[in-house]
Amino acid sequence: MIDPFPSPFDVTLSFATVEPGDDQRWSTWSAITPSERGPKPWPDWVVTSAGAIDTELGVLKTGKEADVFLLERAVPDDPAQSTLLAAKRYRSAEHRAFHRSGIYTEGRRGRDSREGRAVAKKSAFGREVEAARWSLAEFDALCRMWRLGAPVPYPVQVNGTEILMEFIGTDAVAAPRLAQERADHGALDELFVQVVDIMRVFATAGLAHGDLSAYNLLVHEGRVRVIDLPQIVDVAANPQGADLLHRDCVNICDWFARRRVACDAEELFAELLVLAFGVN
């Protein structure tokens, strides 16, 4: 006969105990605050389960300021909850030179004076804080540009010096940078149109990318995506804003002009400047 009121001690639970292995951790999604998560609505591929595990799949690129890794976030035994992410980790070690920071951050203010003093003293804590500031700046920029409809990777979360974002690629292979693109002439014309459209989205919001080049544009399935945004600048408010916008225009037009795409950096600069200063 079946006992209608089994005592809890009679019930044997048989959960498979999953623990993160080497190169794994519990998903950091649950540990962060709402403001450290990407803009809502979250795309349906974002894995939000507390039972998810992050697995390191390798290095995508080591850079001057940060290293980018491929990461899988997945719920074990649930193929529906599995996604690839790009993890961009800013360097906090002494190897990193923050020589660029001055011109981009003029006019920006830190929130905490203890942090400010630590950065000024260049202590280990200060370097950590400085690196986290850059990751936060890039995360904020990605969120802002995502909301404006620019084709940036969706920013999933920021946690200290690490940003997790949509992985742009196919089958764990990152999309090529524009610089590696061997497109024919007609395709290059089309890519140029897309890049100018991206620059217009930035300018219409009063912004310039600030480090735009064929290395910070990825081409995925015929679509251009823009990355590497920690230094976006307010064209009007930053004393170097117009110069940085001009440099973006020259970098892009030089690259396309060398490939025989008809373009004029000064014309583009004039158009974008009007858009940027039209913002009040």
Ligand X SMILES: Nc1ncnc2c1ncn2[C@@H]1O[C@H](COP(=O)(O)OP(=O)(O)OP(=O)(O)O)[C@@H](O)[C@H]1O
Task: Say whether residue 72 binds ligand X (CB under 6 A).
Answer: no
CA–CA gap between residue 198 and residue 204 (Å, rounded):
10
Distances (CA, A) of 12 to 7, 15, 19, 169: 11, 10, 21, 45
In whole angstroms, the minimum distance from the beta carbon of 130 to ligand X comes to 15
Question: Coil, strand, or helix at residue 232?
Answer: coil
Instruction: Pick out residues in 212-251 that bind Mg ion (CB under 5 A).
Output: 216, 228
Task: Say whether residue 65 binds Mg ion (CB under 5 A).
Answer: no
In the list 52, 142, 164, 165, the residue contacting ligand X (rule: CB under 6 A) is 165
Number of residues that bind Mg ion (CB under 5 A): 2
Considering the complex, state which of residue 247 and residue 276 has its C-beta at the smaller distance from ligand X. Answer: 247
CA–CA gap between residue 98 and residue 115 (Å, rounded):
16
CB atoms within 10 A of CB 109: 6
Task: Say whether residue 153 binds ligand X (CB under 6 A).
Answer: yes
Those residues whose C-beta lies under 8 Å from the C-beta of residue 93, and which sit 6 or more positions away, are: 127
Considering the complex, state which of residue 61 and residue 117 has its C-beta at the smaller distance from ligand X. Answer: 61
Task: Say whether residue 96 binds ligand X (CB under 6 A).
Answer: no
Task: Say whether residue 169 binds ligand X (CB under 6 A).
Answer: yes
In whole angstroms, the minimum distance from the beta carbon of 228 to Mg ion comes to 4
Considering the complex, state which of residue 64 and residue 114 has its C-beta at the smaller distance from ligand X. Answer: 64
Quick note: the x/- pattern for ligand X over 238-257, rule CB under 6 A, is --------------------
- Strand ranges in 109-242 using DSSP code E only, listed in sequence order: 155-159, 162-166, 169-170, 173-174, 207-208, 217-220, 223-226, 233-234
In whole angstroms, the minimum distance from the beta carbon of 177 to ligand X comes to 5
Instruction: Pick out residues in 175-194 that bind ligand X (CB under 6 A).
Output: 177
Phi, psi of 173 (to 5 degrees): -110, 125
Number of residues that bind ligand X (CB under 6 A): 21
Beta strand 162-166 with 207-208 is unpaired
In whole angstroms, the minimum distance from the beta carbon of 11 to ligand X comes to 46
177 binds, among ligand X, Mg ion, none (CB under 5 to 8 A by kind): ligand X
**Polymer length in residues for the chain:** 280
In the list 63, 107, 222, 278, the residue contacting ligand X (rule: CB under 6 A) is 63
Considering the complex, state which of residue 48 and residue 213 has its C-beta at the smaller distance from Mg ion. Answer: 213
In whole angstroms, the minimum distance from the beta carbon of 226 to Mg ion comes to 10
Taking CB atoms, the residue at the shortest distance from Mg ion is 228
CA neighbor of 196 nearest in space, from 151, 133, 232: 151
**Element spanning 275, H or E:** helix 265-277
Torsion (CA) 141, 146, 151, 152 in degrees, nearest 10 = 40
Question: Coil, strand, or helix at residue 191?
Answer: helix
Binding site for Mg ion (CB under 5 A): 216, 228
Binding site for ligand X (CB under 6 A): 60-61, 63-66, 68, 86, 88, 153, 165-169, 174, 177, 215-216, 227-228
